[in-house]
Structure 1
Amino acid sequence: MAAHRSERVGERIHQEISIMLDRELADPRLANVNVTRVEVTGDLRLAKVYVTQRVADADEKEMLEGLARASGYIRRQLAKNLDLHFAPEIRFYKDRAIEMGEHFLQVLDQVQAEERAQAPKRGRKRK
């Protein structure tokens, strides 16, 4: 039951922070930030918010500094908008899943290219 509730709260936090990033926060460091997922502890005291940037060459450190600076405002807004006794502490993390997926695809492409290069050699018969 607690896991289900923390998932629901995580979904609401995801929605609320996404709206704040799009409509309320004027910090230019946050202009291209997407929330990818939110993990909330079972006791609802901590929310880990994973984010990515829509612009590839954006400064990750600047983004995380901007989010840290806005975290107090975000937490106060969550306290107002969510029906909870208290708002969870918000911690922001760069989501590395996309980068890891891209790296995995590059490795897979490399392996396939090596296999194609080896295929003609395997097909030859020895004399």
Structure 2
Amino acid sequence: MAQNRFHSGSGPSQRQLRVGELIRHTLSDVLLRGDVHDPDLNRYSITVGEVRTSPDLKVATAYVLPLGGKGAEEALAALRRNAGELRHLVAKAMTLKYAPQLRFVLDETFDRMDDTRRLLNEDRVRRDVEHDDEGGDED
């Protein structure tokens, strides 16, 4: 039953997930090795947190962040400038019928985690969580 719901468009297919992870791994390797002929891009250590693909696998959106988050906008601009070369390098390492168009966006996962951590450390939230923990044994 869950399988029918999954394939009805409520989330990515297994193939999208597999291809996205393969692109993420390959793109990470390309960036780590400094294969791109752009010194501006090669001066950044860029983490590729996730890659999401379109249902037809023709567009891949990479969520990236430079190490430490410093120079994020400049790194993003360098990635976008070199998207064609990166696409070629990723396609060369993979066996897909079509090389996906690469799009790059900043990965805000760490910012959201910090916001959540900060929220959970607020006194009023901590009191509520502690209160729930104390009453949890009654169930």
Confirm or deny: 8 A CA contact 1:27 1:66 kept in the other structure.
no
TM-score by length of 2: 0.73
Q: CA deviation at 1:78?
A: 2.0
Q: CA deviation at 1:106?
A: 1.0
Confirm or deny: 8 A CA contact 2:120 2:126 kept in the other structure.
no
SS for the counterpart of 2:99 is coil
In 1, the alpha carbon distance for the partners of 2:72 and 2:95 equals 32
Greater shift in the superposed pair: 91-100 or 22-31: 22-31
TM-score by length of 1: 0.79
In 2, the alpha carbon distance for the partners of 1:54 and 1:42 equals 30
Q: CA deviation at 1:28?
A: 3.9
Which of 43, 50, 62 is the equivalent residue of 2:56?
A: 43
Bigger CA radius of gyration: 1
Report Cα offsets for 1:50-100 as digits up to 9, x if no partner: 0122124x1221011110012111111122221112111100010111101
RMSD: 2.2
In 1, the alpha carbon distance for the partners of 2:46 and 2:112 equals 18
**Could you tell me the percent identity over the aligned residues?**
27
In 2, the alpha carbon distance for the partners of 1:27 and 1:103 equals 34
Please list every run of 5 or more consecutive structure 1 residues that lacks an aligned counterpart in the other structure.
116-127
Runs ≥4 residues deviating over 6 A: none
